[in-house]
Amino acid sequence: MTWWQKDQLPAQLPHIPELRNEPVQEKVDLDPFLASVANENYSIFPKYHYELWGLVVSVHHSDVWWDRMHKRASDYLNIKDICVVWGDQNTLPEFYRNVEFSSGQWTCYYSTRDMQAHNLFQGDRFANNHILADDPFIAEQIMASEIGDIIHFKGYLSDYKGRLTQRQTSTTRTDTGNGACETVYITDFNLLHRSNAGWKKVHLLSGWIISLWVMIALTIFFWPIVQEFAGAPSKRGRLRE
């Protein structure tokens, strides 16, 4: 129940005028630089300075157990994909509350059977961002963002290359399909508004409670066995020889 509630898009958005802004993209002339995560080195090739305000509609964590592609590529720099919408129409509840968003290992999708939502959709204000981060503090902020949150980040649209991986970034919001995602090396990340904060706290608390009950149950189950192996007296007593 809490898992479902915490990932619901909000019924209304707070007044954040910047959410209507187009991303800021400016050409840069910077030399490639190195980033290191989990003892893997990556070369970053920055192309544009990039700044975005967006409503998070779907996410993908690269370290989930079923994501085999990142593991095979030793890609620990792309810590998360964040799919967002922005603009006048895509941030209307009439649109996003009637659309299903989902993420794959490198992709973000949307679907709707609602004609009004379909007509409101602006494809050039919908983007999946491959988020690159090697700073632990910035990475922690990124990982804390969830569906329904409003975020703001700065960084560089960048190609990058590792020992077993190489990816290029999109530099326009009008492309679709393979290669249409923005690959962003993050230099600054801010959570402007957290949605469903109460449900997220309850979900976190329930997770801790469940973990505690599992530990208690395992302890009760295995404690007599541990006592037997340790040679400690058992409450069941011993037969006299």
Asked if 128 and 112 sit in the same domain, the reply is: yes
Is residue 225 a part of any domain in this protein?
A: yes
Asked if 86 and 185 sit in the same domain, the reply is: yes
More confident residue, 232 or 168: 168
pLDDT at 129 over 90: yes
Asked if 148 and 203 sit in the same domain, the reply is: no
Query: What sign does the dihedral 36-152-82-62 (CA atoms) show?
Result: positive
Asked if 144 and 225 sit in the same domain, the reply is: no
Asked if 23 and 88 sit in the same domain, the reply is: yes
The distance of Cα 204 from the centroid of its chain, to the nearest Å, equals: 16
Which pLDDT score is estimated for 66?
93
Residue 3: both structure tokens together: 């898992």
Is residue 209 a part of any domain in this protein?
A: yes
Is residue 237 a part of any domain in this protein?
A: no
Is residue 240 a part of any domain in this protein?
A: no
pLDDT at 15 over 50: yes
Specify the DSSP class assigned to residue 34.
E
Q: pLDDT tens-digit profile of 53-106?
A: 999 999 999 999 999 999 999 999 999 999 999 999 999 999 999 999 999 999
Domain residues for the domain of 205 are: 196-231
Asked if 164 and 206 sit in the same domain, the reply is: no
Which pLDDT score is estimated for 58?
97
Which pLDDT score is estimated for 234?
46
Task: Report CA-CA distances (Å) from 12 to 7, 97, 130, 198, 240.
Answer: 14, 9, 27, 16, 73
Phi-psi region of 178 (alpha: psi -120 to 50; beta: other; left: phi over 0): beta
For range 3-31, the mean pLDDT: 89
Is residue 142 a part of any domain in this protein?
A: yes
d(CA 88, CA 86): 7
Which pLDDT score is estimated for 215?
74
Q: pLDDT tens-digit profile of 189-215?
A: 999 999 976 545 444 455 556 667 667
Is residue 218 a part of any domain in this protein?
A: yes
Asked if 79 and 186 sit in the same domain, the reply is: yes
Is residue 1 a part of any domain in this protein?
A: no
Is residue 236 a part of any domain in this protein?
A: no
Question: Is there a contact between 158 and 47 (Cβ–Cβ < 8 Å)?
Answer: yes
Query: What stretches of 7-125 show up as alpha helix (H) in DSSP?
Result: 68-72, 93-96, 115-120
Asked if 69 and 177 sit in the same domain, the reply is: yes
Angle, alpha carbons 128-133-136 (nearest 5°) = 135
More confident residue, 43 or 225: 43
Looking at this protein, which amino acid is placed at residue 126? F
pLDDT at 107 over 70: yes
Asked if 35 and 83 sit in the same domain, the reply is: yes
Which pLDDT score is estimated for 2?
43
